[in-house]
A and B are shown apart, each in its own frame.
Chain A
Amino acid sequence: MNSFLWHEIGTIEDIPARGARCVATPQGKIAVFRTADDRVFALEDKCPHRGGPLSQGIVHDGCVTCPLHNWVISLETGLAQGADEGATMSFPVRIEGGRILLGLEQPVEKAA
């Protein structure tokens, strides 16, 4: 179950610092974030609150604030911060020579 397929999705320069871009996948839209210090994270583009597009939020430190109702989500864990409770699915990311690789789990039917 823990085997990932790594997909090259572009370079770090493709994402604005303190910003995000989206990747369309069979598992839905995934938001790929780049922080001020050039760390890259991937989350399902869906806020645990009302499904807002996290990729459209403001990125600050290691978090993003959802544009719909200002929930703050940790980029690393996908967990809602502060008093809010909930989590967004997060995806593994690797950077190799400036290329960003996004890890998606193998489809269940193939792995079986």
Chain B
Amino acid sequence: MSEKLVIVGNGMAPGRMLEHLLEAAPGRYDITIFNAEPRVNYDRIMLSPVLSGEKSYEEIVIHGDGWYVANGITLYKGHRIVAIDRAAKTVTSDHGVTEAYDKLVIATGSVPFIIPVPGKDLPGVLTYRDLDDVNAMLLAAQSRQKAVVIGGGLLGLEAAAGLKERGMDVTVLHVMPTLMERQLDPAAGYLLQKTIESRGIKVITKANTKQIVGGGKVEGVELDDGTIIPATLVVMAVGIRPNVTLAKEAGLTVNRGIVTDDRMRTLDPDILALGECAEVGGNVYGLVAPLYQMALVAAAALAGSGDERFVHIDTPTKLKVTGIDLYSVGDFADGEDREEIVLRDATAGIYKRVVLKDDRVIGTVLFGETADGAWFADLQKKQTDVSDMRDTLIFGQAFQGGASADPLAAVAALADDAEICGCNGVCKGRIVDAIKEKGLTALDEVRAHTKASASCGTCTGLVEKLMQLSLGDSYNPAAIQPMCSCTELGHDEVRRLIKAKALKTIPAVMQELEWKTSCGCARCRPALNYYLVADWPDEYADDYQSRFVNERVHANIQKDGTYSVVPRMWGGVTSSKELRAIADVVDKFAIPTVKVTGGQRIDMLGIRKEDLPAVWADLGEAGFVSGHAYAKGLRTVKTCVGSDWCRFGTQDSTGLGIRIEKFMWGSWTPAKVKMAVSGCPRNCAEATCKDVGVICVDSGFEIHFAGAAGLDIKGTEVLGLVKTEDEALEVIVALTQMYREQARYLERIYKWAKRIGYDEIRRQVLDDVERRKAYHDRFVFSQKFAQVDPWSERVSGKDKHEFQPMAAIGYAEAAE
């Protein structure tokens, strides 16, 4: 029978410990976790990007609900453990749940330090510790008013940058003379302050908070010298304290943290402690690398495998504020037995300082340019004698014979045991071996197998270079493929940032996301126009000049510069009146070719641009509207005759096709969308190679998606079976809306679905009824602005200039 393991706390350290434990001793323990936060395990060091809007909560989840289920782990969310009974070997939560344990792991983390000043409990005073704090800050930031951040350390500065990014007027108060004095020397602290200030954040150093003022809620912060800084939000980020209350009450030894030996065991042989609450070798830790080392050690202790022991290492510090490069590691205080090498470049804002003792690196501070950080840290870790390269040491690795300034060569020159990922302690050799042995080809796979760059992500570039070196040209970093040469950002990042930063015009996107060209190019402009139309249907003014000619002219350009016109025939059904009108138009405008299309429509080819409005006027009189044969949008819904005529038909496939088309016409989508409805599994409408297809059966409607019959040929996947027409329509609409919100411009449904995963789509638009409804409603909302017939608009004179020459210069005139 398996032993019972209970874990108090569900942060990053116990999460990592479980990964190691499940690998080393699967099935040995029956595991229960109590998490005081009402959620799963997420990457706490990525809270700053969530605050600034660069990431969403979903993106920083480490273990989703499915992981706990798959590993048979019971997770109590929102349960705080209030008592440990060491004699009975049980724990009890604040909701009254009592669990017995054979082994107990205490991972209660830390609590933010609150400076004991008057007003500290006023509404509007927050700390910066978990997702609830971030959500509270985001709410407060909506006011776009003034915020004060108390504390100019790592957390305080990240909070300040995030709040500024959210539009608040931010002041940072720091009690010491320079920022981040524990990680930076005064010179780098000064540069950092200048950089922070240049972003419009005010910084006051040597600022002693006397009290927080306000009646009923925060109104400002008063300093010792009597200055009052007005604020509607105060964030205290002055430090953290190990959360040891529970352990202390249970009678465990507690100094600053819960005292453990170097195998993470407390004085009680059945109780381990790890994470920010643990004290090992007299030290407590707050950075992720040593915490992950504790996780490894604790897992080995629990699994009874190996003899891992915790060893202190200096951990590099990096600031997670986009655009500020800062790196520090080791000891950089002045001293008689120490030498220092300093490089300053005032114009470029670069400062580098390496501290040596006995010809060995003991500390490094880099500001403005940090690419060599890993190299310096490696020299320090290995105690390399640097006397031979002392003269050029500060210029970095590229200047040491052999290696060149090519960043790829620099990475190639790194030793196998050089550390690449500081957070997870992963060295170059392990990454390269994993790529080779497991045949990894994507960044996500390397992250999954080695954890390299899976935490704070700052070493992603190094990991990608290793992949490039190992895989050669076959490595295609698809995850970061830029949209076009105007930006470094990929489509997904741009879509996310448009939402996160509420960007609502093309110039705003280009400004905020630092486009490299003044007005984009023919690749990014139509994409951005689509993203903005899709995301802000009621607010965005369509940018006509950023549309490809077909969508501007509402017809399809042909090789000779003439156009083709396809009127809508709902569900492929027409009438004598419609056919007569088409015949008349063909005669009147001497249209050279009339062709029946694959989507059951009639195409008139070879129409001169000047004639288009007149052609549309005549077609409009017969009741035709645009068939959108030119659009990245809903093209056609092809149907068979179904139960109306066919002796095999099970449902009214024609009727359903027409209904879908009338509901969805006019919507813009990332790429064209073609649909079909077949009345029985004989599938005469060929629904199983469409973007979305329906096969009617006796028991209802089988919905298909992600087919292709163009450059690629692919049969559809089955989304699921629904019973009624109403339900079928709702599911199809929800699927289309999900695609509209998530896909990359020009990415057809089958490619998008393959990338996202068929199961995920099924889960969101079929299984999760609420989410399906929400997608459906958003589609319906956007249709209010989309269902306008562009042809009749132009017949009435819209964009008249488009169809007429500006001027005509006659022979006579030219010859005068």
Contact = CB atoms under 8 A, between A and B. Distances in A.
B519, B525, B813: residue with the most chain A Cβ atoms closer than 10 Å? B519
B805 interface: yes
B553 A104 contact: no
Given A14-B806, A26-B809, A60-B519, A5 B814 contact: yes
Contact of A57 (B549, B805, B811, B814): B549
Nearest to B799: A16
A9 interface: yes
Contacts of B806: 9-10, 14-15, 21-23, 32
A19 B801 CA distance: 11
Interface of B: 517-522, 525-526, 544-546, 548-550, 552-553, 557, 559-561, 801, 805-811, 813-816
A26 B814 contact: yes
27 contacts: A7-B813, A9-B807, A15-B806, A16-B545, A17-B545, A18-B519, A18-B545, A19-B545, A21-B801, A23-B808, A24-B805, A24-B809, A26-B809, A26-B814, A32-B806, A37-B518, A53-B557, A56-B549, A56-B561, A57-B522, A58-B521, A58-B545, A60-B525, A61-B518, A67-B557, A107-B815, A110-B815
A79 interface: no
A36 B561 contact: no
A61 to B, nearest CB: 6
Contacts of A18: 519, 545-546
Contacts, number: 100
A2 interface: no
Given A53-B561, A107-B814, 17 more contacts: A9-B809, A14-B801, A21-B805, A24-B805, A24-B809, A26-B811, A29-B805, A36-B518, A58-B522, A58-B525, A58-B548, A60-B525, A61-B521, A65-B522, A67-B548, A68-B557, A107-B815
Contacts of A9: 806-807, 809
Contact of B809 (A25, A50, A51, A53): A25
A14 to B, nearest CB: 6
A98 B70 CA distance: 71
A9 B813 CA distance: 12
A92 to B, nearest CB: 14
A25 to B, nearest CB: 4
A68 B559 contact: yes
Interface in A72-112: 72, 102, 104, 107, 110
A107 B545 CA distance: 35
B522 A72 contact: yes
B319 to A, nearest CB: 35
A18 B546 CA distance: 8
Size band of the interface chain A makes with B: 35 or more
A110 B816 CA distance: 9
A107 B813 CA distance: 11
Q: Which 10 A-B pairs have the closest CB atoms?
A: A65-B522, A21-B806, A9-B807, A24-B808, A56-B549, A18-B545, A58-B522, A53-B561, A67-B549, A25-B809
Contacts of A102: 809
Interface string A29-47: 1001000110000000000
A23 to B, nearest CB: 5
A43 to B, nearest CB: 14
A23 B805 contact: yes
Contacts of B809: 7, 9, 23-26, 102, 104
Given A19-B545, A24-B808, A67-B557, A58 B814 contact: no
Contacts of B525: 58, 60
Contact of B807 (A10, A50, A70): A10
Contacts of A107: 814-815
Contacts of B520: 60
A60 B814 contact: no
